[in-house]
Structure 1
């Protein structure tokens, strides 16, 4: 019987100049602050180029990293990934239809949410596979499915009853449905929005609420999850600047799922999106603006998925995570291939960059 060969894929990452190694390949043009191109995309990095980049005080460049990953052989995980890809395709087509009709086909969304709950429940470590998938294409649709899956997990960990888990998954899937009514040029911008565009972008919560509230007998809890997922505990969210006691529990869960996934995928077109470890760091930093119980429950359970991963460090080396740092996951304890164990919390300039597998 033939053996299963590892599959090689590529990922664009930001690499600090001090960690560049000759032979790496530029993923994008290396430019000065005023736009002068020092080296073009696809250039193979040499010692001379590294020195030139240092002379121009370039902090980091985008490179193509080759990732060797074992194919998925667990049938439960494979089933989850197939269902995941189908869900993304369904959401994409449905969002495009809603843009034209202003009508939400709730049966399609309900069935998709139920599939997500069923598969995420049956496959404990499937969530770990999500962020080894390309997340940059069709961001809005993948993000909707990711948030639905993560929100369902959080609700399960918080001991919500099954019917509530399903409703939360549905609200997560629909949380950005209002974006179907926004100009595509705003959704496709990879850089920070201008103030006027950002104010328009923020209307996606009320637009989504208005669309879904047209559905007969739609649960208010689902509607609140859609409307309030950008509200914050301290009253600095939108659209209504609610404080903790007025924010629906579903919205608190979706807020955490949304922030976690957004920090991992929103910067795909500008490389350097966070790893799950750094994203958990960021959630911990935001704990005073999001629900603390939800945040702590999520981060502590996620740590179970993140131990044992093969990761790339910011110095370009690879290591295995042997213990996840509860206070700052990106500074966990790792073991290199030569057996050397490094406590990243004791280093000033090295942390986990991204997951290899």
Structure 2
């Protein structure tokens, strides 16, 4: 069983895990419980003259070397996916906490993470439904970054991007919210809806992220513009610049779809997640004025593949199996009910799908 102990800051070592949050003088969270300390974290703590920290003694492995030997891993099952996914969350959490403290992006870590972790996760058959079914309510910011990277990669594969383009796209997805490092954790982790003032502050994150990434010439401009444009919309209703259609970068358009899908299919404290069917309807509504229609069509086909043969619960109290999906862009399926009869939701629009209650049969 792991031990929790107070350690003087002069004795703290790289790889130790925080047992409690480290707070600033104002009571804001500087470093979260569970973070594995890096050299940058320790340096920042010393600069702030923290006398000691509470740590968990466990494996002392620096996150820079933690996944050195994981290249070319193949994830073959839901259980393996979930374990590998949680490991990925921990790595990106440590990397992002380090960025928050040091204001430095560890590009080597990001590139290796994409190669050794994000790649195998997005290549897993069933990845889209696996990430939706991982029921963890903490670390939303880090999980969302990983999910958007995976979903962007899945869409990138569907439209047959080249390998180098796919890697840049996944990096753009992983870093799309990097501008949020300048926003305090109490706002980022707020359990309820944001105030208008807090929302306006949140809307600065695409520009902040782009400006932060400008200092890294090794990153492709397409990655940086993907980060800058992921909240822009074709009709000019997005932010930060209110761009339209061809003014918005291709990666920005892809990441925006991934961002919408993950945000809507994830449980939050203030609302329950929506089903892929409901999100698909939203994408259909937005594809001709806010989002790129061709990208939406490609992603809708991906969603349809992920929900085929699923067991669903309906708003009329019945359950059944998804046995047919109408041609895109329609997403309403035909359901085979438990009594053997069939129900076409395209013709019975008053009945909706409440939840996917089981894996495919």
TM-score range, shorter chain: 0.7 to 0.9
Q: Distance in 2 between matches of 1:281 and 1:116?
A: 31
Report how far residue 277 of structure 1 moved.
1.1
Residues 80, 119 of structure 1: 8 Å contact kept: no
Q: How many residues align?
A: 282
Q: Which residue of 1 aligns with 2:272?
A: 272
Report how far residue 88 of structure 1 moved.
1.3
Q: Which residue of 1 aligns with 2:133?
A: 132
Q: Which residue of 2 aligns with 1:285?
A: 285
The 1:293–1:187 alpha-carbon spacing in structure 2 relative to 1, beyond 3 Å, is same
Report how far residue 291 of structure 1 moved.
0.9
Q: Distance in 2 between matches of 1:116 and 1:276?
A: 24
Scaled by the length of structure 2, the TM-score of the pair is 0.73
Residues 82, 134 of structure 2: 8 Å contact kept: no
Q: Which residue of 1 aligns with 2:263?
A: 262
Q: Distance in 2 between matches of 1:113 and 1:92?
A: 14
Q: Which residue of 1 aligns with 2:25?
A: none
* Matched position secondary structure for 2:346: helix
Q: Does 1:113 align with 2:117?
A: no
* Matched position secondary structure for 2:303: helix
Residues 235, 245 of structure 2: 8 Å contact kept: yes
Residues 306, 324 of structure 1: 8 Å contact kept: no
| Larger RCO of the pair (alpha carbons < 8 Å, separation 6+) | 1
The 1:249–1:99 alpha-carbon spacing in structure 2 relative to 1, beyond 3 Å, is same
Q: Does 1:323 align with 2:324?
A: yes
Report how far residue 102 of structure 1 moved.
1.3
Within 5 Å, give how 1:1-357 maps onto structure 2.
75-120=76-121, 122-265=123-266, 268-287=268-287, 288-325=289-326, 326-329=328-331, 331-356=332-357, 357=359
Q: Distance in 2 between matches of 1:248 and 1:79?
A: 35
Residues 120, 127 of structure 1: 8 Å contact kept: no
Q: Distance in 2 between matches of 1:270 and 1:320?
A: 30
Residues 81, 130 of structure 2: 8 Å contact kept: no
| Root mean square deviation, CA, Å | 1.9
* Matched position secondary structure for 1:164: helix
Q: Distance in 2 between matches of 1:272 and 1:80?
A: 23
Report how far residue 76 of structure 1 moved.
4.6
Residues 171, 223 of structure 1: 8 Å contact kept: yes
Q: Distance in 2 between matches of 1:90 and 1:124?
A: 23
Choose 346-355 or 142-151, whichever is displaced more: 346-355
* Matched position secondary structure for 2:265: helix
Residues 135, 142 of structure 1: 8 Å contact kept: no
Scaled by the length of structure 1, the TM-score of the pair is 0.74
Q: Distance in 1 between matches of 2:221 and 2:329?
A: 36
* Matched position secondary structure for 2:234: coil
Residues 103, 211 of structure 1: 8 Å contact kept: no
